[in-house]
Chains A and B, each alone.
Chain A
Amino acid sequence: MFRYIVRRLLQMVLTFFGATFVVFALVFANQDDPLQALAGERPITESQRLALTERYHLDEGFFTQYGYYMKGLLTGDFGESLTQRKIADLLADAWPTTARLALLALVIAAVIAISAGVFSALRRGGVFDNVTLVATLIILAMPIVVIAPLAQLVFGIQLGWFPPTSGADPSLWALFLPALVLASSVLATQLRVTRTSVAENLRSDYVRTARAKGLSYRRVVSVHVLRNSLIPVITLIGVDLGQLMAGAIVTEGVFNIPGVGFNLVRAIRTEDGPLVVGFVSVLVIVFLVVNLLVDLLYAALDPRIRYE
């Protein structure tokens, strides 16, 4: 187990460098004239341009720029954005909000998906099962760019149940509607996987044994079937975190939440290379760590899996 974790951590280092390199290259390729993008419509004087180019090494080649960036990163310095703010500060402001949003969405999705999935598997072909089937198909068919503004309009503005936008430093309640929207992007698949998995396990031989042992139906389902059925669902939840982060970019934009997605969009629009790479690097780390945790949880759920 220990060796497995160490090996995974080493793999994570490689993945991290690979991912930041690719992102850095993409931003570099996309760069047209970042200084002009920064200044907007106003003209820039030649001396300003020279000074800024010097400061950000914009006249250097790609590998030199990447080298400078990595040198900073490895010494704990995320560098400065083109607007001369410390990227570390921006990250520290944005991350807690997004972490809360994503975690809330993950919990909402998992709770709804697992309970509804188990219930519809127990009553296969029933009314509830068919209604959830149709509902999940509708949700699956609607991209988050449609669901987010629609939810904001209906629940935030017309019905007024939730605050329509969140603003700086939002409460959990203000994040509830955005989290629900975000959850909808992963909920449907999680629900279907749970349902299939439970239905399959209900037919298995060990369930017959458990019933022959005179256990109650409730215990057979909640102890014997559930743990076996959750194994694939847990894996899916780990992978879904990537989906949630991608969804957060849209959701944070719509609900005006100053999180990672919000900042990332702004950075891409202003061609702010260091800022984009900074945010994405942290996204990559979070994704890797969560998937490591999922793998460890997987081993805890299923003793047949032994890492070496």
Chain B
Amino acid sequence: MDVLPGVDPRAPLLEVNDLHVEFRTRDGVAKAVNGANFWLSPGETLAILGESGCGKSVTAQAIMGILDSPPGFITKGEVRYRGLDLLTLSEAQRRKVRANKIAMIFQDALSALNPVYSVGFQLGELFRMHRGMSRADAKKRSVELLDLVKIPAARSRINDYPHQFSGGMRQRVMIAMALALDPEVLIADEPTTALDVTVQAQIMGLLADLQRERNMGLILITHDMGVVADVADRISVMYAGKVVEEAPVYDIYAKPAHPYTRALLESIPRLDMKGQQLNVIRGLPPALTDVPKGCAFNPRCRFAKDPCRSDPPPPAYAVAPHRTARCHFFREVLGE
């Protein structure tokens, strides 16, 4: 593969700065991502946490450059891989970044794999198209990949079709596909949501092992606080298209600095609260066509005061080193 111009090996692995994405539909403009910021280092796991429709998946697709456009448009911001802003690249150059440098796995492996091609074909395709390998060599590498993700009897399963695999095995195939070309960044968009709990744990374990072996940066998009606590190093909490809090995982669980994060943590069912009413966050996330003025969370927030209800929205306050929260009253939330 030819080297991408402008890549600086000493620059941070991945940086997303002030990313804005909107969907222009017949019913109006939906602002799905409104200034997302985060960074990722090699070997690190960053969890992006948030409710459905908060812009997690759209952010991931924008990083990959696979946003459906139209209706989706990136209106502002940068996605820097090793210092190179991917948004300025041509489509041909971006294609070389995908799978080679940044790869992605999706939520539902059954629909994410092509039903009419064998698993071997879909894996081998990567080697044939990106590395110019022959069919035979590509197949050999594909078998190795299935072995890598611990699919039993890989050699005999290589010609099977996606529907012949179980849910967990299919997600392993997806992981194999994403890791085929040794990417430095892996984005996993709710990789275990469609699986049952024991399989979830196996898949997360496999991902963690592979990440450690390859010193790969992992962005884990999820709404499952339990999964996050196990594997993430840092957490970015998204709400209405913005990162409202970013912090190391331990800090966030110990002392959330944003009311939304705090509400999320309080709404986890706990065994020691058995029989009591479960805390829920009242109200719904805002419609992205009509995000509230000021802090987008203010209508649902029990800390909200007047400044929260008017523009400008709260900036990213530095709560501690490597820790930010977009809340005017983060001290109050922290309970200081």
Contacts and interface: CB of A to CB of B under 8 A. Distances in A.
The dominant DSSP class at the A interface is helix
A228 B113 contact: no
Nearest to A212: B104
Interface residues of B, number: 31
Q: Size band of the A side of the interface?
A: 20 to 34
Interface in B83-130: 91, 95-100, 103-104, 106, 108, 111-118, 125-126, 129-130
B106 A304 contact: no
A214 B100 contact: yes
5 contacts: A206-B111, A209-B112, A213-B129, A224-B117, A303-B161
Interface string A208-219: 111111111101
Interface of B: 61, 64, 66, 68, 91, 95-100, 103-104, 106, 108, 111-118, 125-126, 129-130, 161, 163, 174, 177
A227 B116 contact: yes
A213 B64 CA distance: 10
A304 B98 contact: no
Nearest to B187: A212
B172 to A, nearest CB: 15
A252 to B, nearest CB: 38
Nearest to B102: A212
Nearest to A217: B91
Given A213-B125, A214-B97, A303 B115 contact: yes
Contact of A211 (B97, B98, B118, B126): B98
A227 B117 CA distance: 9
Contacts of A77: none
Contact of A304 (B103, B111, B161): B161
A204 B129 contact: no
Contact of A205 (B95, B97, B106, B130): B106
Contacts of B114: 206, 209-210, 224, 228
Contact of B129 (A206, A209, A219, A227): A219
A216 B94 CA distance: 11
Contacts of A203: 68
